[in-house]
Structure 1
Amino acid sequence: MHFEVGESGRLLLRDGDSTLAEYIYAPSDATVESPRPYFLLRTRQGVEVTAYRPDDHVWHKGLSLALPNVGPHNFWGGPTYVRDQGYVQLPNNGSQVHTAFVASDTPIADAAAGLARVDEILDWRSQDGDPVLTEQRILTARAVGDDAWALTWRSALVNVSPDPLAFGSPTSKGRENAGYAGIFWRGASGWTGGAILGPGGDAGDAACGEPGPWLAFVAPDSSAGVLALAATPADSPWFARSAEYAGLSPAPFFTDETVVEPGGTVVLSAAFIIGGADVASLAATVGANLVAELRAVPDAEPTPATTAPDAEPRGAETDRDAELEGAAPVPDAELRGTETHRGAEPPVADPDPDAAFHPDRADTDPAPAAEDSAPADHPEESA
């Protein structure tokens, strides 16, 4: 399993001849959709498990880190919930901008563990382009047995604005049971009405707002399932929906806001296992190990936002003699996977990997960058 270069602005996660995921790190989305990198995912059997720009909420895109309330900024997309006013489309839709890929500080251990890994630096900017946050993001992927695979996500966010930033949600602003904010998975449209499972069994939509170590979502036809596990904080509430649409996210700012002072850091991390209808059975074993791994990552100062932009990523086939110095920028953005050899040429991507990868998405063209997309027809349901 390894990452390689796709068309401009995206990486492909390869499992032999199959593509398990696309990571779109340089999207061309409309401002109102709060542009940010995102994953589109499928099982090892080829079942799509994420939605892309669904009709109900076009700012929902696969798996992404989306935060609706960071001080005055909206990094979720669409309108902002305002206390006593409801949803209002404000000029506050920020963006997450890819700055550089950097070298893993544990390349040998990553290879020994069979990890495909991406380390990335991002700038979070206001709608006016002012710096708000810098982020150090670590993404890993690995096989889980013969039928499943796992993705971990860790983001360390540093407040680089001059003011304290309150991280919150629509619920912290007054809307009942709508505490969405975090590493958010939006399931494929055909998954609406699927089962939400927790440690106590069938949890359903009642899991929304409740704390717990994990939740799993199983497609209505039992063709696949996704297990989500919270790593930080330990007892995070969950945002969970099935009746309206398929969605799961650890939601640490569901009810209470967290204020981060200038120069302060907040860390969000989660693990996801993509497998069959029995994926919840992996929570106590593989899932627990993934959570322990994420919690063991030491805190480190993110690379400054002035890091030079990288060149086109080279993929997982890299020269082992390349020097790796912590978080130093990687020449040509070398991405460490598990399939490495000396002197390899960049892998050639499919001519159009996107065309065959998104049967579920609402349209086949990327979101327009020049014009803002319209908010939802029912802004009171803008989650």
Structure 2
Amino acid sequence: MTADPGDERLVVAGVEVARYLVRPDLDPRHGPRPYLHPVRTRAGTPVTDALPADHLWHLGASLTVPDVAGANFWGGRTYVRGTGYTWRDDHGVIAHTGWRERAADRLDHDLDWRDADGRTLLREHRRLTAAPAGDDAWWLDLSATFTSATGADVHLGSPATNGRPGGAGYGGFFWRAVAGPEPRVCTVDAVGEEEVNGSAAPWLALSGTAPGGAAYTLVFSGLGPGDRWFVRTAMYPGVCVAYAFDRPAVVAADRPRRNRHRVLVVDGHLDRAEVAERMAAAA
């Protein structure tokens, strides 16, 4: 096992496109976990935000769930059925436990999902890769395999599954986009936050403008069985592959849960037809 500096980089064609904070020094209430920030386009435009004033526990691009067997790995207040959002001492930590591989274009490591008492609920094997996708774009690929560490099924939930109305089924692979004018969001057959939130389209595109005026497009894919898109554009810019959007999910005691998420990071604004063309070419 090699030494862990706590801060890694992903590089495409000699250019750093993402920084990966493996062991961030965070308030326990912010859901300490590894996260990618800043993520940039190939031209250098930042496309993630971290620790924003409106939600301090939004950390760039990360894997996190607000209810894992009752433990809050998302950060912030916990949604309690019949009560609403409440501050509780239930925040877990997603802890890096060892590297399998580190290179300029890939990072492969193991993690433990530990509750507030330090008990490991889940073990995860995570692999991140970065690859070029033409002169104006690159692919981020994140795969994660979860196994139960308790000897029993481990249930995953969200504020929605705990009683919150309004499609608040967040929790999974979450991307907090950079602040700027309200971005546009679409899928192959829907446009706008209201229509896209909760859908199960094969891809979702978010087009925005970063501070300074540079345009970008993020194209997400990789919904697993039962997953849904959670999207916010008006309140804040964010996209989540939601594991428990409207019903609890489970990591079975005897069967790993595997997820793979891909994001095409593009310089400039792509319209829906252009996104569809690129995704068809990638397929």
TM above 0.5? yes
CA distance in 1, matches of 2:105, 2:260: 17
Residue 135 (structure 2) aligns with = 146
Classify the secondary structure of the residue corresponding to 1:98. Answer: strand
Residue 18 of structure 1 and its aligned partner are, at CA, apart by 3.2
Considering only CA atoms, is the larger Rg found in Structure 1 or Structure 2?
A: 1
Residue number among 226, 237, 249 corresponding to 2:228 in the alignment: 237
- Deviant stretches of 4+, over 4 Å: 279-286
Contact 2:12-2:138 within 8 A present in 1 as well = no
Once the two structures are overlaid, the 10-residue window that deviates more, 92-101 or 16-25, is 16-25
Contact 1:225-1:279 within 8 A present in 2 as well = no
Residue 113 (structure 2) aligns with = 124
Residue 219 (structure 1) aligns with = 208
Residue 362 (structure 1) aligns with = none
Structure 1 residues 197-243: Cα deviation after superposition (integer angstroms, max 9, x where no partner): 1102533343111221111111146711111112423x631100100
1:249 aligns with 2:240: yes
Contact 1:205-1:243 within 8 A present in 2 as well = no
1:26 aligns with 2:26: no
Change (3 A) 1:196 1:159: same
Residue 82 (structure 2) aligns with = 84
Partner AA of 1:229 in structure 2: S
Partner AA of 1:97 in structure 2: A
TM-score, L = length of structure 1: 0.67
CA distance in 1, matches of 2:178, 2:101: 33
Residue number among 177, 182, 188 corresponding to 2:172 in the alignment: 182
CA distance in 2, matches of 1:153, 1:121: 13
Change (3 A) 1:206 1:285: closer
Higher helix share: 1
What is the correspondence of 1:1-383 to structure 2 with a 5 Å cutoff? 8-16=5-13, 18-40=15-37, 41-103=39-101, 116-176=105-165, 177-191=167-181, 193-200=182-189, 202-220=191-209, 223-233=215-225, 236-275=227-266, 276-278=268-270, 283-284=275-276, 287=279
CA distance in 1, matches of 2:257, 2:77: 24
Once the two structures are overlaid, the 10-residue window that deviates more, 121-130 or 213-222, is 213-222
Classify the secondary structure of the residue corresponding to 2:29. Answer: helix
* Superposition CA RMSD, Å: 2.4
CA distance in 2, matches of 1:56, 1:252: 23
CA distance in 1, matches of 2:109, 2:219: 24
Residue 255 of structure 1 and its aligned partner are, at CA, apart by 0.4
Change (3 A) 1:103 1:48: closer
Contact 2:205-2:217 within 8 A present in 1 as well = yes
Classify the secondary structure of the residue corresponding to 1:32. Answer: helix
Change (3 A) 1:167 1:289: farther
Higher strand share: 2
- Bigger RCO of structures 1 and 2 (CA < 8 A, at least 6 apart): 1
Partner AA of 1:250 in structure 2: V
Change (3 A) 1:278 1:222: farther
Partner AA of 1:186 in structure 2: R
Residue 284 of structure 1 and its aligned partner are, at CA, apart by 4.3
Unaligned runs of 5+ in 1: 108-114, 293-383
CA distance in 1, matches of 2:7, 2:101: 18
TM-score, L = length of structure 2: 0.89
CA distance in 2, matches of 1:289, 1:61: 31
Contact 2:13-2:132 within 8 A present in 1 as well = no
Unaligned runs of 5+ in 2: none
Identical positions, percent: 33
CA distance in 2, matches of 1:196, 1:170: 23
Residue 259 of structure 1 and its aligned partner are, at CA, apart by 2.9
Change (3 A) 1:272 1:281: farther
CA distance in 2, matches of 1:32, 1:140: 29
Count residues with an aligned counterpart: 275
Change (3 A) 1:79 1:19: same
Residue 103 of structure 1 and its aligned partner are, at CA, apart by 4.0
Residue 377 (structure 1) aligns with = none
CA distance in 2, matches of 1:269, 1:282: 23
